[in-house]
Amino acid sequence: MEIMWKLIDVSKRYHTGKGREILALDRIGMEIYKGETFGVIGESGSGKTTLGKVMVGLIEPSEGRIYFRDRCLTGLKGKELLNLRKEFQIVFQDPYKSLNPRMRVKDAVMEGIRKGMGRKEKREKVKELLSMVGIEPKIMDNYPHQFSGGERQRISIARALSTSPSFIVCDEPTSNLDLSVQAKILNLFMELKEKFHLTYLFISHNIKVIDFIADRVAVMFKGRIVEYGKREDVMKHPLHPYTEVLISSAFFKKVEIIEKEGITSGCAFSSLCPYVEERCYIEKPELKEVEKGHLVACFRI
C-alpha cells in the first residue's frame, strides 16, 4: 500500500502564562495509506484535534517530522506550503463557526476554486459541488443562518472539495447533528471518498461512528497513541485497558475506574488502569506490534 502520510515522533507543547506547559501531542508516530479512512478515537483533551491541525499545517509541531507523499512538511512555509495545502482540507465540528455568517454560500464555496476560472465558470462549479453534497443550487445566494445544521455541514464539505484535495481531515463532523442527520452525512463522506478517491483522517469521540466508517483506528489518550491497527482487530480484540473501557462504554456498560492522585510520569493511563503495576508509574510504554499491523503501548501485553 502507498503511504500518503508518515509522522515520526511528532510532539506539540503549549506554554501557559504561568510558566507551565501542556503536552498536547507526545511523540506521535503513525502512517496513513492512500485511499483509506484512518479513524482517531479518544475523549475530549486526548489530542485528536491537535493532531489533525498539525498535519494540515494549521499549527506547527514542537518536535518531530511530518511527511506527505515522501515530502517533509516540517518547517515548510510561504508559497511552497500554500501550494501543497490545496491537496488537503479540513471539515470542522461546528459548521456555523467555520462558515462566515456574512458571506453568501456561493462565495464561501467559491473561495477555494482555482483562480484561472472566470466568474461564470466558477459559479457553475459551485452549483456542481453543492448538488453533489445534496444542496439545491437555487438557494446558493442564501447565508449560513438560513440553513439547518446538517445543511451547513454539507456546505462545509462542498467548500472543502472546492480545491480538489486528495486528503481531508474530518474533525468530529457529525457530533453536533441529530442521529438521523449523522447517518446521512456519514454516508455522504463514504460516497465522496469513492467518487474522488479521497483519503480521510476521521476524528471522533464516538466509537460507533469510527466503527462504521474507518478502515484502521488509532486510540488516543492524553496526547499519546495507546493502540492502533485494523478497525476489526481494535474493536473486536482491544488490547489496551483504555480501549477496553471505550468499547465497554460505547455499549452502555457502567465502567468504574477511580483515578489515583499524584501520578505525574510513566504511563498516562496508570492513574486509571485496573491492571496497573509499579513500573507503569515510572516508565512510558512504547507502541509495539503484537499482531500483524496491530500495535499497543502497554506493559501487560
Whole-angstrom Cα distance, residue 232 to residue 209? 13
pLDDT of amino acid 261? 42
35-52: per-residue pLDDT in tens?
999 999 998 889 999 999
Mean pLDDT, rounded, for 280-291: 93
Whole-angstrom Cα distance, residue 286 to residue 85? 32
Give the pLDDT band (50/70/90) at residue 72: very high
Q: What is the pTM (predicted TM-score) of this model? A: 0.92
Identify the burial level of 79 via C-beta atoms within 10 angstroms of its C-beta, where 0-12 means exposed, 13-18 middle and 19 or more buried: exposed
User: Does position 117 have pLDDT exceeding 90, yes or no?
Assistant: no
Identify the burial level of 143 via C-beta atoms within 10 angstroms of its C-beta, where 0-12 means exposed, 13-18 middle and 19 or more buried: middle
State the residue for C-alpha cell 445566494: 141
Interaxial angle between packed helices 149-161 and 119-132, expressed in degrees from 0 to 180 and rounded to the nearest 10:
130
State the residue for C-alpha cell 501542556: 22
Residue 68's SS3 state is strand
| Domain 3-87+165-296 top-level CATH class | alpha beta
HSE-CB at 286 with a 13 A cutoff on CA atoms is 5
- Residue 123, Cα to own-chain centre: how many angstroms? 30
Residue 221's SS3 state is strand
- Alpha-carbon dihedral 244, 245, 246, 251, rounded to 10 degrees: 90
Whole-angstrom Cα distance, residue 162 to residue 206? 28
State the residue for C-alpha cell 488537503: 88
- Residue 89, Cα to own-chain centre: how many angstroms? 11
Mean pLDDT, rounded, for 255-261: 42
More confidently predicted of 254 and 62: 62
Give the pLDDT band (50/70/90) at residue 255: very low
